[in-house]
């Protein structure tokens, strides 16, 4: 086989592997065991809010004490399981680094009882995972929610219909360190790194909320002033009139001048997209590794 043919075959194998991985990462319908195709919503993350009206703490970090079972029963999602056989672990962290002996391609359920704040009532409730290596399945109160493949990407689950504000919920994450994971991170680490490696957060957003927000920073044609291009998608359960109020703050928390203040968005069919270009006069362009400059939008 010549070099060109070899490279073409290797490329075909890579594309096939990526396609299978994306298919596994898609959102599954409740009770389904097989991904039926890539759902566009699984590729977009709801922006985590800084504040929500009538909610004292809209974001709850679930770091801390969890429990894992290294010899789990068949139905790991059941709420009536004996918790005495489960080992206490810290999250986020690798399982093996906490002294647990794990094997590749075997699922280890990690469990935590979470409290749903009372003021989350009438809000949309989500779980955000910032890194579970390398394949994960999620249950809440015994109900299968979704799966995800890829240990270093953020992903989320909406659990509004499965939990009640002011009550406890049982969260189970099945963690598998897959030997065929495309990153091969355990191979390069020379040990199995399976586990909940990054933060897990519980958060609430209003019924009408930002479903997606992307910001692209560019310069004008003279390379003097900045331009912020925003692509936003709002989601609502009913038709509603609303607008986006835009602001820009620097590292010290001071407001920066902007020529655009608000962008009205009409929502008629449950969601709406808009594209906004915001001039940012005289941005700081000199970057220093010791003094990074990262203006923030709000």
Superfamily of domain 209-297: Immunoglobulins (2.60.40.10)
DSSP state of 203: E
Is pLDDT above 80 for 290? no
Is pLDDT above 60 for 109? yes
Tokens of 68: 């894992």
- In 154-224, the DSSP E strands lie at 155-158, 168-176, 195-196, 200-205, 209-219
CB 231 within 8 A of CB 273: yes
Query: What is the C-alpha to C-alpha distance for residues 46 and 128, in angstroms, rounded to an integer?
Result: 9
DSSP state of 46: P
CB 52 within 8 A of CB 58: yes
Is pLDDT above 80 for 262? no
Closest by CA to 180, choosing from 35, 39, 16, is 16
Pick the most confident of 10-14, 18-22, 169-173, 290-294.
Answer: 169-173
User: What's the pTM?
Assistant: 0.77
More confident residue, 206 or 41: 206
Residue with tokens 């399981």: 81
CA 29 to chain centre: 18
Strand 64-68: give its sheet, edge to edge. Answer: 87-91, 64-68, 107-115, 168-176, 135-140, 143-149
CB 185 within 8 A of CB 94: no
Query: What is the C-alpha to C-alpha distance for residues 287 and 220, in angstroms, rounded to an integer?
Result: 19
Confidence class of residue 25 from pLDDT cuts 50, 70 and 90?
very low
Q: Which helix (H) or strand (E) holds 104?
A: none
Closest by CA to 108, choosing from 78, 147, 136, is 136
Query: What is the C-alpha to C-alpha distance for residues 170 and 163, in angstroms, rounded to an integer?
Result: 9
pLDDT digits (tens, 9 = 90+) for 179-220: 999 899 999 999 999 999 999 999 999 998 988 888 888 887
- Mean pLDDT computed over 119-125: 97
The verdict on domain 43-205 having CATH code 2.40.110.10 is: no
Per the prediction, the chain carries an average pLDDT of 80
- Mean pLDDT computed over 33-43: 46
Residue spans of the domains in the chain: they are 43-205, 209-297
């Amino acid at each position: 086989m010549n070099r060109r043919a070899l490279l073409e075959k290797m490329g075909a194998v890579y594309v096939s592997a990526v396609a299978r991985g994306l298919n596994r990462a898609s959102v599954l319908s409740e009770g389904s065991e097989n991904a039926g195709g890539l759902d566009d919503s699984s590729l977009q993350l709801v922006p985590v809010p800084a504040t929500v009206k009538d909610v004292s703490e809209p974001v709850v970090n679930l770091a801390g004490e969890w429990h894992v079972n290294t010899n789990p029963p068949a139905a790991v999602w059941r709420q009536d399981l004996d918790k005495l056989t489960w080992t206490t672990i810290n999250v986020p962290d690798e399982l093996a680094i906490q002294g647990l002996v794990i094997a590749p391609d075997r699922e280890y359920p990690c469990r935590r009882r979470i409290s749903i704040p009372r003021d989350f009532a009438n809000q949309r409730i989500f779980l955000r995972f910032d890194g579970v290596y390398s394949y994960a399945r999620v249950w809440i109160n015994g109900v299968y929610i979704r799966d995800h493949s890829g240990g270093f990407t953020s992903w989320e689950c909406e659990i509004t219909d499965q939990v009640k504000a002011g009550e406890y919920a049982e969260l189970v994450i099945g963690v598998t360190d897959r030997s065929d994971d495309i990153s091969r991170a355990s191979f390069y680490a020379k040990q199995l790194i399976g586990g909940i490696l990054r933060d897990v957060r519980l958060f609430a957003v209003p019924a009408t909320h930002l479903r997606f927000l992307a910001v692209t920073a560019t310069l004008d044609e003279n390379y003097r002033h900045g331009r912020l291009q925003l692509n936003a998608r709002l989601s609502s359960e009913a038709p509603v009139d609303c607008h986006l109020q835009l602001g820009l703050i620097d590292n010290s928390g001071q407001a920066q001048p902007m020529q655009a203040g608000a962008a009205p968005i009409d929502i008629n069919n449950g969601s709406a997209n808009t594209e906004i270009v915001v001039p940012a006069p005289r941005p700081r362009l000199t970057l220093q590794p010791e003094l990074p400059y990262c203006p923030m939008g709000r």
